[in-house]
Structure 1
Amino acid sequence: MYENNVLLECGTVREFPADILRDFLLDCQVRNFSPRTIQGYKSHIKYFLSRYPVQVSPEDLKEFLVHIRDENKYAASTVENYFSSLSCFFDYLEWEGIIPENIIPKFRKRYLRYYKDPLPEERQLISLEQMRDLIDSAEDLLTKAIFLVFAKTGIRRQELIDLDRSDVYPKQNMIILKNHHFKRSNRTVFYDDECAYYLNKWIKWRYNHHVRKPALFIGINGRRICRDTIFDYTTRHAEKLGFHDPSGRLEEKFTPRCFRHFFTTWMIRSGCPREFVQELRGDSRKEAIDIYHHIKE
C-alpha cells in the first residue's frame, strides 16, 4: 500500500511515505483530536520518519532518543512529547496491520525514567516585575499587543493564533474564542484597560493599513501569524532580559506557555477563588487547575 523509504544522497535523512502520515492525521481528526494535538503529532512524526523507517527497531529508537535528548538538548518534557506522538502513530500502524506490534510503550517504560513518574522539571514562573519588563521591552505594537493578551487572559498560543478581528469586542473588553478548541469549557475571556489600549491601537493600525485578512494578528508575510513566530518573539525578548536560556532546563526557559502559567499562578496568589480561575482558564477538567493547589498567597 505504501512505498518504501528511500535514502537521500545527503546522508541519513530519508524520504518518508507521505500517504502514511496523511492517513494517520486523518485518523486523528476522526478521533476528534484537537488541531493543536494533530499539528504536534505531524511535526514530531515527520521529523522521525525523515530519519528512520516505518518498520522501526529498538536500536532505531535508542539512537533517536540519544539524538533528541543528548545531541539536540531537548527538555525532558519535549522528549516525552516526541515519544507520546510516536506511540500514537505506531498504535495506528498496528491497528491498520502495517506493523505487527507497537513497541513504543515498552521502550518508554524501559528507557524514559519519567514515563510513569512526574517530570523532574517545572515550567518557569516570572515575577510581576519581570512580566512588566517583558511587556515594556516590546517596541513594536504587534508584539506588545500579543504579550498583553497572553498575560491578561491566559489563553493558549493556538487560541491566540486562531483569533479573527471579528472575535474581539472592544466596547466590552471581551474576546470570544473559536469553538474548535476541545479543551476549553469557556470561550469568553475578558481583558483589562491596559490590554484594551494596545489592542485597540493594533486594530486601528490594521484599519489604517487596509488589512483585509480576517486574522487578528498577522505576520510579516501578511498572513495569519504562526506558532514559530510567536515562540521567537517571546523567547527573544525574554532572553534579552535574562530569564530565558535556550540551552537550559525547562525552569530556565520562558516560552509562550509560560504566560498561561503566570496568569494562573498570580490570579490565585492575588486571592481569586479557584473556581473563578478555572472558569477564566477555560479548563474542561478539574485536574488542570489542581496542579496549582500548593500555591499560597
Structure 2
Amino acid sequence: MSGQKRGESTEQTHISYFLDDIRYQGKSERTQAAYERVLSDFKEYLASRSLTLESANHRDCMAYIHQLRGDVASSTVATYASYLHRFYDYMTRVDAFEDNPMAIVVEELDESINTDPTRRDISIEAMHSFVETLSHPLDRAVILTLLKTGIRAGELCNLDIRDISLSSSPIEGSHRPRLDGRRDSMYVDSAPAQGVTYNGEKRAASNKRKRATTIPVDGELADVLREWLAIRPDPISDASPLFVSVSDEWGRRISPAIVHHLVETHARDFGWYRAGGGPEENVTPHYFRHFFTTHLRDRTGDRGVVKYLRGDVAKDVIDTYTHDWGNRVREEYEKNIYSLI
C-alpha cells in the first residue's frame, strides 16, 4: 500500500484507504462516518496501550470489545465488531496486514449472541469432498480432529502428546494413566485455563468443557495423526504439544487464532466462508463441533453418548458413561462415526 499523504501517519493511511474502498462500493456518507468513528476510537484505544492496528492481536481486539459492554447496547457492540472485522479483512486482502485478529473475536461474539443459529447444512459427502482438498499433514490433522471429536479450537490447542494413546505412534512418549487400557483414544481435560500454567506451560486458551472426557480415535483419525506426527517439528515447550506451528513460529504450540485462520482459509477456498458472513453461513472451527454433534446424534440416536463426548453434561451422566466407557462409548462411537477420507 503506497501513497501516504504528507503529515498522515501509516495508521491513518490504512484507515483512509479502507474508507476510500467502502466509498467506492457505494456506502452512504452516514455509513462511512460510522466506520471512521469506530476505527478512530479503536486506534486511540490501542495507542493508549502502545499498540498499533497492525500489531494488535485477537486478545487486544477482544479486550476492546469487552470494555464496550455496559457503555453501549449489545447490538452496538456487535456492529463495532463487524466494522473492525471488515477493516482487518480488507487489510489482509490487500496484503497490508498478515492476518485478521478480529476473525476469532467475531466468531466468539456470534456464538454468545446467538447460541443456536441456523447453520449451513453440510452433508457428510460434501464434507468428505472438503477434506479431500487438504494436503498438508498439519491441516488435515487439525481439521479432522475437530470433525471427528467435536472438541473446541482451544481444547485442540491445549492437547499434549500425553493426551493421546495411539497404537504404532511414530514418536516416543507416554500417555496419561487415565488412558491405560484405552487404545487409540484422546483425553480432553477440563482444567486448562487461559493464563494459568498447566503441565509446565502457561496456556493461551481455556478448555470450556464441564468435565474431562476420553474420546475414541477411529482408524481414519489415527492414520492422519500418525502422518502428522511423522513430520511434526520438535516442540519448543517441554509440555510437548500435539500440534505445533510449521511456519514463522516453528515448533511453538498453535493458538486458536491460528486454527481459525487455517479453517477460514480452506473454507474460503471451498466457498464456505464469506467476509462479513455470520455463523449461519460461514464454516469455522465451531461449525465442526456443530457438524459432529448433529451427524453423530442422528446416527446414534443416543443424546447421552454425544453429550458425554462433548463434555457438557452433569456429573451423574459423566459417571455413567465413564464407568461403561469401553462397552458403550467406544462401541457406539466406532459403530456410528462417519467416514471422511
TM-score (norm 1): 0.61
How far did residue 210 of structure 1 move? Answer: 4.3
Given the superposition, is the C-alpha separation of residues 57 and 252 from structure 1 closer, same or farther in structure 2, using an over 3 Å criterion?
Answer: closer
For residues 65 and 305 of structure 2, the distance between their equivalents in structure 1, rounded to whole angstroms, comes to 40
* Counterpart contact for 1:163–1:215, Cα < 8 Å: yes
Q: 1:164 aligns with which of 156, 160, 180?
A: 160
Q: 1:152 aligns with which of 145, 148, 160?
A: 148
* Counterpart contact for 2:58–2:257, Cα < 8 Å: no
Pairing 1:229–2:251 present: no
Q: Matched residue of 1:122: which SS? A: coil
Q: Matched residue of 1:189: which SS? A: strand
* Counterpart contact for 2:190–2:212, Cα < 8 Å: no
Query: Residue 81 of structure 2 corresponds to which residue in structure 1?
Result: 68
How far did residue 177 of structure 1 move? Answer: 1.8
For residues 159 and 79 of structure 2, the distance between their equivalents in structure 1, rounded to whole angstroms, comes to 38
Query: Residue 140 of structure 1 corresponds to which residue in structure 2?
Result: 136
* Counterpart contact for 2:131–2:140, Cα < 8 Å: yes
Query: Residue 188 of structure 1 corresponds to which residue in structure 2?
Result: 214
| Structure 2 residue runs without a partner (length 5+) | 1-10, 13-39, 50-56, 87-101, 168-182, 192-206, 316-341
Q: Equivalences for 1:196-207 in 2 at 5 Å?
A: 196-206=222-232
Query: Residue 177 of structure 1 corresponds to which residue in structure 2?
Result: 188
Given the superposition, is the C-alpha separation of residues 81 and 225 from structure 1 closer, same or farther in structure 2, using an over 3 Å criterion?
Answer: same
Given the superposition, is the C-alpha separation of residues 119 and 157 from structure 1 closer, same or farther in structure 2, using an over 3 Å criterion?
Answer: closer
Q: Equivalences for 1:202-221 in 2 at 5 Å?
A: 202-206=228-232, 209-211=233-235, 213=237, 214-219=240-245, 220=247, 221=249
Given the superposition, is the C-alpha separation of residues 249 and 165 from structure 1 closer, same or farther in structure 2, using an over 3 Å criterion?
Answer: same
How far did residue 122 of structure 1 move? Answer: 2.2
Query: Residue 93 of structure 1 corresponds to which residue in structure 2?
Result: none
Given the superposition, is the C-alpha separation of residues 140 and 278 from structure 1 closer, same or farther in structure 2, using an over 3 Å criterion?
Answer: same
How far did residue 64 of structure 1 move? Answer: 5.5
Query: Residue 109 of structure 2 corresponds to which residue in structure 1?
Result: 81
For residues 143 and 281 of structure 1, the distance between their equivalents in structure 2, rounded to whole angstroms, comes to 22
TM-score (norm 2): 0.54
Cα deviations by residue, 1:248-280 (Å, 9 ceiling, x for unpaired): 232210000011111111111113411111111
Identity of aligned residues (%): 26
Q: How many residues align?
A: 218
Given the superposition, is the C-alpha separation of residues 48 and 205 from structure 1 closer, same or farther in structure 2, using an over 3 Å criterion?
Answer: same
Q: Matched residue of 1:14: which SS? A: helix
Query: Residue 15 of structure 2 corresponds to which residue in structure 1?
Result: none
| Structure 1 residue runs without a partner (length 5+) | 1-8, 19-38, 85-113, 287-297
Q: Equivalences for 1:7-156 in 2 at 5 Å?
A: 12=41, 13-15=43-45, 43-47=61-65, 66-69=79-82, 72=85, 78=106, 81=109, 121-156=117-152
Give the letter aligned to residue 202 of structure 1.
Answer: W
Q: CA RMSD in A?
A: 3.8
* Counterpart contact for 2:211–2:311, Cα < 8 Å: yes
